[in-house]
Structure 1
Amino acid sequence: MNEYLASSKEDRTWAMVAHLSTLSGSFIPLGNVLGPLIIWLIKREGSAFVDAHGKEALNFNLSITIYAAISTVLIFVLIGAVLLFGLFVFWIVCMILACIKANEGNMYRYPLTIRFIK
């Protein structure tokens, strides 16, 4: 993964924005997917580092959306609420770790991520 080391502060900033853009899901339906998608589509050509982080953020948030949908269905079996809360905490912690790694110029691989975009 060393081939994805950031070459500039601007690359690190855009990679971090790709991860932080997931917070738009708090205000916009599916913003947690649309934010990273927009950043990735705009900046992927200019930097391999931003391309890698954008894909990683997009894949993670697509996976989280699927896990949240499954947890929502499981609310009827009384375990879904606990799963949704745990998923939310997991999402926030992983996003913060990814932002820190991006700011340091390192790559971060989210755990439990389905790799839709390779």
Structure 2
Amino acid sequence: MSTPPIPPQQPPVPPQQPPVPPGYGPAHPSMNPADEKLWATLVHVGGIFFEFLPALIGYLVLKDRGPFVNAHTKTALNFQLTLLIAEVVGWITALILIGIIILIAVYVVRIVFSIIAAVKANRGEFYTYPLAISFIK
């Protein structure tokens, strides 16, 4: 008795992926260097007017878009949170009058160092704020 011949096996065909609709590509495409510099600069300048909100939003939205913008949003958020703590201390101690001096110092420090950081970001340089507590590493 002879067995019937076995037909040759073909490799399995991988399942085909459906086409990706426009606008639904990779979750976080990287930015080009010019866009990274622009957003890093805007995060620092936004801190002058809106305190920690631009840095927080920038960090949450842009942290995965490139190493440069990630570093700048992180350092800006750490600095703005440090100043927020100083502001709270200033408002609490305002009744002793030292708080008014603290609030004025926070206001001046926020403007000066945010402008320095924005200029550095615009030049494509990394910057670390002095006196900032590292909440986010």
In structure 2, distance between residues paired with 1:89 and 1:66: 15
The residue identity in structure 1 corresponding to 2:41 is M
In structure 1, distance between residues paired with 2:33 and 2:69: 11
Residue 40 of structure 1: aligned partner: 59
Q: Runs in 1 of length 4+ with deviation above 4 angstroms? A: none
Gapped regions of structure 1 (runs ≥ 5): 1-6, 26-31
Residue by residue over 1:60-86, the C-alpha shift from the partner in whole angstroms, topping out at 9 and shown as x without a partner, is 000000001101111111111112111
Deviation at 1:21, TM superposition (A): 2.0
Q: CA RMSD in A?
A: 1.2
Deviation at 1:17, TM superposition (A): 1.2
Structure of larger gyration radius = 2
> Aligned residue pairs: how many?
106
Q: 1:65 aligns with which of 84, 97, 108?
A: 84
Contact kept, 8 Å, 1:55 with 1:117, in 2: the verdict is: yes
Deviation at 1:106, TM superposition (A): 0.5
TM-score by length of 2: 0.73
Matched, 1:55 2:74: yes
For CA contacts below 8 A with separation 6 or more, give which structure has more relative contact order: 1
In structure 1, distance between residues paired with 2:48 and 2:120: 17
In structure 2, distance between residues paired with 1:54 and 1:88: 20
Residue 3 of structure 1: aligned partner: none
Matched, 1:96 2:115: yes
Identity of aligned residues (%): 37
In structure 1, distance between residues paired with 2:57 and 2:115: 20
In structure 2, distance between residues paired with 1:53 and 1:77: 36
In structure 2, distance between residues paired with 1:83 and 1:8: 38
Judging by fraction of residues, say which structure has more helix.
1
Residue by residue over 1:19-69, the C-alpha shift from the partner in whole angstroms, topping out at 9 and shown as x without a partner, is 1221342xxxxxx22211111221111100000000001010000000011
